[in-house]
Chain A
Amino acid sequence: MKLKHLILSVLFIGFCTSVNAQWKKNKANEDTKIWRYDLECEGIAKQGSKLVKVWSYSKNPKHAVSSGMKNAVHGIIFKGFAGGKQGCTQFRALVSDPAMEEKHKAFFDSFFADGGDYLRYVSSATDGSIAAGDRLKISKREYKIGIVVNVLTDQLRKLLESKGIVKGLNSGF
């Protein structure tokens, strides 16, 4: 009888942990789904890439970190950023027509899926640590976390050209 209770307890705890993990993942995706983030230039990167700081919002700082890379790639494709410090110039989004996201929904859904192809075009520019000034508590239950990443813009542009989402400079000639 005691053993039965023990097994049931272990199973229940396991189930709860799994549900909790799934809930956290969903929560992170939910925060990312509305693409609530800010993008700013962090300096001049190597040729063909952009060094950006992406500010993501979440109730849990961990979610903000995990969705940062996805947000950065999304920002380069659809938002761009203003110029400013460190000699940065304005960068206009690779896709100038916002309707293209809906038009190529199937592609972008699979591209931005968890573990999707977007990961091939972004890498962390730091060792994973977040500076104290980049971890901001903006309200009682919400954090704004900034991470610095490097996005391979030239390769990303070529991918979008090959999928017919954006036009190449030489298309039509």
Chain B
Amino acid sequence: MKLHKSFTLIIFTLFCLISFGQAKKPTLMVVPSDVWCNQNGYMLEFDNQGSTIKIPDYKRAFQENPEVLQVISQINGMMAERGFPLKNMESAIKTLESNAVEDNLRSSKDSGASINESPIDAIKKAAKADIIIQLTWTVNKTGPKKSINFNLQGLDAYTDKQVATASGTGAPSFSAETPVLLSEAVIAHMDNFTLSLQEHFDDMFENGREIIVRIQTWDDWDGDLETEFGGEDELGFVIEDWLADNTVKGRFSTTDMTETMALFEQVRIPLYNDKGRAIDARRFVRELSKYLKAAPFSIPNKLVMKGLGRATIILGSK
């Protein structure tokens, strides 16, 4: 019995070490760029009070263009081979559609109630990833000669920074078909792309994950970010001090600060908390939320998150 207990304890400890020793893995997804969609006619047009708005029609691009499938499939395969499988955008779109249909039809067996969905929930229903791999290619033609101009950009969905890249023009060919040239372009560029992505991850492990923190206020709140609490500094400076104490090497930038809002960019958060658990923007900002809820501030607030890298605190109430 004693042996059994010891064995269970060892297994549990090992499980904890394995599960807590890993940072939160970002999701990646290849998305055709707006330029590519526009050049190839995969756009939806809306009339917005007289001005024409164009947005990419990804679903039609996936249904009608075999080349985009070929390129994405090849990139997905090469990333999976490196132990980093990507989210497939076409599948993500289909899953969202089927979920929406299921949610509309679902009702409670007892009360007949339907699924609760706020307008914000509805907006958040979109194919998303932490890092978007934006894909663009153009076929250059000079007489019978063809070449491919290829561009891959890894974009952080929260900080809007380009974290990886690979681009260039392939060798011109008189005879090769476009899919062959595209395949060569992917093979030629993926090593450089994964290497620059690796550098981004190395930087993240060394200097912490870069996130965005926003502070907003409800319009019925009687305080603001210039309010002084118990003879302390103004609230805006109090928040800045908290960030300086809790970020990796005190790194963050105050991009905007008014009496009603604040925006902090390049906030470097540790990958793990004191308990060794992997944390993201929400978990990190939750500590700031608790700090502001406690005395002497006693400010009720609402914490809103967006993926791994963006969190907002709205001051005044839940």
Contact = CB atoms under 8 A, between A and B. Distances in A.
Contacts of B170: 44, 87
B81 interface: yes
Given A154-B81, A167-B198, A167-B202, A172 B22 contact: yes
A85 to B, nearest CB: 7
B202 A44 contact: no
Interface residues on A, range: 20 to 34
Interface in B175-232: 184-185, 187-189, 191-192, 194-195, 197-198, 201-202, 205
Contacts of A47: 74, 78, 187
Among A45, A87, A92, A169, max chain B CB count under 10 A is at A87
A90 interface: yes
Contacts of A45: 187
Contacts, number: 62
A158 to B, nearest CB: 9
A91 B191 contact: yes
Interface string B20-55: 001111000000000000000000000000000000
Contacts of B23: 172-173
Is chain B's interface secondary structure helix, strand, loop, or mixed overall?
A: helix
Given A83-B168, A85-B171, A44 B83 contact: no
Contacts of A126: none
B237 interface: no
Is chain A's interface secondary structure helix, strand, loop, or mixed overall?
A: loop
Interface of B: 22-25, 74, 78-79, 81-84, 147, 166, 168-171, 184-185, 187-189, 191-192, 194-195, 197-198, 201-202, 205
The 3 closest A-B pairs by CB, nearest first: A87-B171, A173-B25, A170-B83
25 contacts: A44-B170, A44-B184, A46-B187, A47-B74, A47-B78, A48-B81, A83-B168, A87-B170, A87-B171, A89-B168, A89-B188, A89-B191, A89-B192, A91-B192, A92-B191, A92-B195, A167-B202, A168-B83, A169-B82, A169-B83, A169-B84, A170-B25, A172-B22, A172-B201, A173-B25
Given A87-B185, A169-B194, A173-B22, 15 more contacts: A44-B170, A44-B187, A47-B74, A85-B171, A88-B188, A89-B168, A89-B192, A90-B192, A91-B191, A92-B192, A92-B195, A169-B84, A170-B25, A170-B83, A173-B25
